[in-house]
Structure formats: C-alpha cells, structure tokens
Amino acid sequence: MKLTYRLVALSLLVATPLPAVAATISAVMYKNPQCSCCEAYAAYLEQNGFKVDIKPVNNLSQISSDAGVPADLEGCHTMMVDGYVVDGLVPVDVVKKLLTERPAISGITLAGMPAGAPGMGGEKDGTWTIYAFTKDGKAPTVYATE
C-alpha cells in the first residue's frame, strides 16, 4: 500500500509543471575604472534578471566608437547584450523591449549621465530620449522615451 501511495505522489510531482524560470540575460559592461554609477547600474540590472560581467577599461571612447555609438550620444559605459550594444544608463524596461523586439539596429543609447537614471542619484527631471543607432552611420533615431 505504501508503494502505491509513493508512486501516486511521484507521478503527481512529475506531472505538475514547475513555475517558469526566467532565463538570466548575460551582458558584458565596459566602463571607466573611476566610474561608480556603472556598478550601481549593473546591480540594478542584476535585480532585474541580468548577469553583468564588468570590465574596467581605459579606452571606453574607442570601445564605444567601435561599437557604433555616435560620439555625441555616448553614455558612461558600453554594454554588449545578446548581439546588441546598450550604451549609458538605459532603463531595464527599454533594454528588455530591445531584446524582445530585436530591431535591425546595432544598439541603443541614453547619452550622458542624467540625474535619476538607474545607477545615478538625484531626481528625474524631464523626459529621457533613448536613441537607436546603426553601424552604417545613418542618423540616430528615437527608440524610446522615458
């Protein structure tokens, strides 16, 4: 009798679906060694399903340029994630939108280090414009506003 109960319990356990576990999104972040907001941004991403490998570098402008980020739209770090470039403190919902929609672009950027952005202190003041860019040098386009 005990064996029957154990078999029934085991069959129920096997037949019951486990909750869907969201896959971790791997990213590599290149940052200036002196920038601390980048680590705060990486922690923010990790709280939202990412695994971020931080690489301090002394040639961030060159890395950003090689990735196709327009010089006037560079952020404080350049991150590679699932075939895209994410430059600056782009909110996670916009990054996830990029990875879901998979547009034919090289990446997105939030220029500068705006107050209130993920990883930065202060209060958000106004709307942020996140630009899409391509490696072929076409003019950047607005990808999202936050």
68-119 pLDDT, tens digit each:
999 999 999 999 999 999 999 999 999 999 999 999 999 999 999 999 999 9
Question: Is the pLDDT at 1 greater than 60, yes or no?
Answer: no
Q: What is the pTM assigned to this prediction?
A: 0.83
C-alpha–C-alpha distance, residues 136 and 96, integer Å:
24
Q: How confident is the model at residue 121 (pLDDT cuts 50, 70, 90)?
A: confident
CA atoms within a 13 Å half-sphere pointing along the CA-CB vector of 96: 11
Question: Is the pLDDT at 20 greater than 90, yes or no?
Answer: no
Q: What is the pLDDT of residue 29?
A: 97
Q: What is the pLDDT of residue 22?
A: 58
Question: Is the pLDDT at 27 greater than 90, yes or no?
Answer: yes
DSSP-assigned letters across all residues of 36-103:
SHHHHHHHHHHTTTEEEEEEE-S-HHHHHHHTT--GGG-BSEEEEETTEEEES---HHHHHHHHHH--
Which of 3.40.50, 2.60.40, 1.10.150, 3.40.30 is the CATH number of 23-145? 3.40.30
Domain boundaries, the chain: 23-145
Helix (H) or strand (E) holding 29: strand 25-31
